Every structure is written in structure tokens, then in C-alpha cells.
């Protein structure tokens, strides 16, 4: 069985940067990714804080990342890692397509998945009105009424995106106050299409073949209300995509992998983590990319010592 020096798990900014740096160090590398883009591809409004690009769509930025990666001499596979273990000095990576690959070092750059509402009907209607990606699915809701779940910046940015498409948008927030910054609040107000409802306890999403409404309880009046909407966009944050790695790492209370922030080392020699999957604060593209680069260089040093 072929053994790679390094396997990188993830095709977002952290994984792609790690791949570019690993290739430049001439490490025999395999990058495995469920998709290319990660959270950046799902961003609803333009990115304005990645150096070199004053304003660029998430999709365009991540396509540039991917194009850069594909120029490198590394192997790339579209697959999902389901299990990671270490026996002796070797890592064994199992994927959904059922094969097992060996490596001497691994970088986990699997980022984060959207957090779900955990209400009846949510899972049933995924792809039938329930969405976690306004950029991908928003255009399907032309002239329709939709709900955005979450009153933070992500929710407000989703509403700004949808205001160009949908007839009416409700922003539903569980807390007593919205959390989006002032600029986003002003833009949302200007659209004239968005109604904000706070103090919401989500009860269920209902419909037949597709979503027809969302049911919630008003925390103040305790009355149950039904909003007739055809789309529900869930924007309530994310959770680290780290379920395939168990006892090889320590987790913090948010399920983020604990690393040494100098170079992304975990408690297991040869196993590194980078980007939103780890416990380094400030989840941003530039930070994830920087961590990916550091982890690849640290993996190179580790592999040199191993030889
Ligand atoms: C709505 C929203 C808006 C944002 N806006 C900005 C912004 O304006 N500016 C900014 O700098 N940052 C922004 N961010 C944050 C930024 O997107 C993240 O910090 C960044 O994408 C993290 O990169 P990452 O590579 O660690 O993870 P991700 O982008 O999450 O990528 C993870 C990758 O790993 C893959 N993967 C996951 N699990 C597996 C597995 N088991 N096997 C194989 N592959 C797997 C995924 O398919 C994906 O390719 C935003 C985030 C969100 C959600």
C-alpha cells in the first residue's frame, strides 16, 4: 500500500494553503476534500478583508485558491474522511469511498459545518426549502417569502443577498436583541423588504413536499405563531467538522481541536490542525490560510526529523 508523507484533510483556505506550502517543500502529499470552497464559497456578500482584493465574491476568491493549488505537484481526491487513527508511526485515513490510505503526517483542515436549528422538519426539508447556503439556494426563491434564522452578521448578510431576489424576508432571532453590526443593520433597513422578529422560540418547520411555513413561539406573549414562508435559511453559526478524529486530539468545549498556536501541533506527534477546526481564535480566511501554511511547514520539519 502506498504511503504518503502527508495527508491534508480539507479544501478550504487552510487546506489549500497547506497544500501549496507542502508542494513547495516537495512533500509527497495527498489532499482529500469533500468539496473545494468550504465556507468561503457560501458567503452571501462580497469579501472585503482579504489582502489584495478590495472586494471579491467568496466563490471567485476560492476558485483562485483552487486554481493555484491545482498548479502544484500534489495528489488531490474528492472524498470524505470518516476515520483517522495512528498505529506506531503511521496514520491510517479511511474515507467514505471505502479505502484506507497511509501517511506519516496529517493536517486536519476540515473547518466547520453550519449549526442546525434542531427542530422537527428541519432535516426533512433540507433541499426542499431549508438551506444553509443562501449564495447557493437563494436564487430559487424569486418573489417568494422566506425566513432567515439568526440575527447576527451572517443572518443580516443573507437577508441583504435575498432582498435582491425574494418578495419578503423575515429575520428570526432567538435572543431579545439583534447582533448584526450597524452597517448591516442600515443596509437591511434600506431594502424595505425585511421584518425583524426577536425573542423567538423555534418550534417546527412544516409543509408537504416543500416548506410551507415555520412555527415559533413568541417568548413574551407565549403565543404560537405560524409564518407562511417557502424558504428557511439557517444562519446561526457553525460547529467544527472534527467528528472523524477522536482520541488522537484534545477538544475544547466548542469541539475545536486544541493546538499549539505556534505551528498547529496537536497532542499526537505528526498530527496538525489548522483553520476553523482548531481552537485558535478569530475565524477568518486570512488566518485559516496562515495557519495552513504554518502547519505544512511544521509537518515538513516533523518529517525531516522522522527520516
Ligand atoms: C457566512 C460567513 C461569512 C464569512 N465571511 C468572512 C469574511 O468576510 N472574511 C473572512 O475572512 N472570513 C469570513 N468567514 C470565515 C471564513 O469563511 C472561515 O474562517 C474560513 O473559511 C475557514 O477556512 P477553513 O479552511 O479552516 O475551513 P472551511 O472553509 O470550513 O473549509 C473546510 C474544508 O474541509 C472539507 N471537509 C470537511 N470535513 C471533511 C472531511 N471529513 N473529509 C474531507 N474534507 C472535509 C470541506 O469540504 C471544506 O473543503 C465567513 C464565514 C461564514 C460562515
* pLDDT tens-digit map of 30-82: 999 999 988 898 777 788 999 999 999 999 999 999 999 999 999 999 999 99
Best mutation site among 17, 38, 83 for ligand 1, i.e. most ligand atoms within 8 A of its Cβ?
38
Report the distance separating Cα 228 and Cα 206, nearest Å.
Answer: 10
Is residue 158 scored above 80 in pLDDT? Answer: yes
pLDDT of residue 4: 97
Is residue 208 scored above 90 in pLDDT? Answer: yes
The CB of 106 under 6 Å from ligand 1? The reply is no
Report the distance separating Cα 279 and Cα 291, nearest Å.
Answer: 11
Output the residue whose Cα is nearest ligand 1's atom 24.
111
Length of the chain, please? 307
The CB of 151 under 6 Å from ligand 1? The reply is no
pLDDT of residue 45: 78
Best mutation site among 135, 161, 285, 293 for ligand 1, i.e. most ligand atoms within 8 A of its Cβ?
285
pLDDT of residue 307: 83
Report the distance separating Cα 160 and Cα 146, nearest Å.
Answer: 12
pLDDT band, residue 136 (cuts 50/70/90)? confident
The CB of 109 under 6 Å from ligand 1? The reply is yes
Centre of ligand 1 from the C-alpha of residue 289, in Å: 10
Taking residues 11-29, report their average pLDDT: 98
Q: Are strands 224-227 and 200-207 parallel, antiparallel or unpaired?
A: unpaired
| pLDDT tens digits for range 280-299 | 999 999 999 999 999 999 99
| pLDDT tens digits for range 181-205 | 999 999 999 999 999 999 999 999 9
Is residue 2 scored above 80 in pLDDT? Answer: no
Centre of ligand 1 from the C-alpha of residue 76, in Å: 18
| pLDDT tens digits for range 112-131 | 999 999 999 999 999 999 99
Taking residues 247-259, report their average pLDDT: 95
Report the distance separating Cα 184 and Cα 235, nearest Å.
Answer: 15
Centre of ligand 1 from the C-alpha of residue 53, in Å: 18
Centre of ligand 1 from the C-alpha of residue 248, in Å: 22
| pLDDT tens digits for range 88-99 | 999 999 999 978
Output the residue whose Cα is nearest ligand 1's atom 13.
284
Centre of ligand 1 from the C-alpha of residue 212, in Å: 30
pLDDT of residue 126: 92
Is residue 249 scored above 90 in pLDDT? Answer: yes
Taking residues 212-226, report their average pLDDT: 97
Instruction: For residue 87, report the phi and psi dihedrals to the nearest 5 degrees.
Output: -125, 120
- Which pTM value belongs to this model? 0.87
Give the lowest-confidence range in 41-45, 172-176, 222-226.
41-45
Amino acid at each position: 500500500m502506498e504511503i504518503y508523507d502527508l495527508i491534508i484533510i480539507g479544501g478550504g483556505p487552510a487546506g489549500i494553503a497547506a497544500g501549496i506550502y507542502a508542494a513547495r517543500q516537495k512533500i509527497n502529499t495527498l489532499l482529500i476534500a469533500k468539496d473545494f470552497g468550504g465556507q468561503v464559497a457560501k458567503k452571501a456578500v462580497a469579501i472585503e478583508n482579504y489582502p489584495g482584493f478590495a472586494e471579491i465574491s467568496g466563490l471567485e476568491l476560492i476558485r483562485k485558491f483552487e486554481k493555484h493549488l491545482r498548479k502544484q505537484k500534489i495528489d488531490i481526491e474528492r472524498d470524505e474522511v470518516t476515520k483517522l487513527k495512528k498505529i506506531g508511526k503511521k496514520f491510517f485515513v479511511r474515507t467514505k469511498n471505502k479505502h484506507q490510505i497511509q501517511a506519516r503526517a496529517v493536517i486536519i483542515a476540515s473547518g466547520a459545518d453550519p449549526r442546525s436549528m434542531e427542530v422537527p422538519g428541519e432535516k426533512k426539508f433540507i433541499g426542499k426549502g431549508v438551506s444553509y447556503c443562501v449564495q447557493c439556494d437563494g436564487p430559487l426563491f424569486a418573489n417568494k417569502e422566506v425566513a432567515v434564522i439568526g440575527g447576527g452578521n451572517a443572518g443580516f448578510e443573507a437577508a441583504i443577498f435575498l432582498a435582491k431576489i425574494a418578495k419578503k424576508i423575515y429575520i428570526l432571532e432567538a435572543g431579545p436583541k439583534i447582533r448584526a453590526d450597524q452597517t448591516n443593520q442600515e443596509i437591511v433597513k434600506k431594502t424595505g423588504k425585511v421584518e425583524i422578529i426577536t425573542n423567538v422560540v423555534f418550534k417546527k418547520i412544516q409543509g408537504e413536499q416543500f416548506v410551507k411555513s415555520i412555527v415559533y413561539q413568541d417568548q413574551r406573549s407565549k403565543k404560537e405563531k405560524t409564518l407562511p414562508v417557502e424558504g428557511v435559511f439557517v444562519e446561526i453559526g457553525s460547529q467544527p467538522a472534527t467528528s472523524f478524529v477522536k482520541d488522537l486530539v484534545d477538544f475544547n468545549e466548542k469541539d475545536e481541536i486544541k493546538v499549539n498556536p505556534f505551528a498547529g501541533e496537536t497532542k499526537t506527534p505528526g498530527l496538525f490542525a489548522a483553520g476553523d477546526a482548531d481552537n485558535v481564535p478569530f475565524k477568518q480566511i486570512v488566518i485559516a490560510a496562515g495557519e495552513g501554511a504554518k502547519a505544512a511547514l511544521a509537518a515538513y520539519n516533523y518529517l525531516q526529523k522522522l527520516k
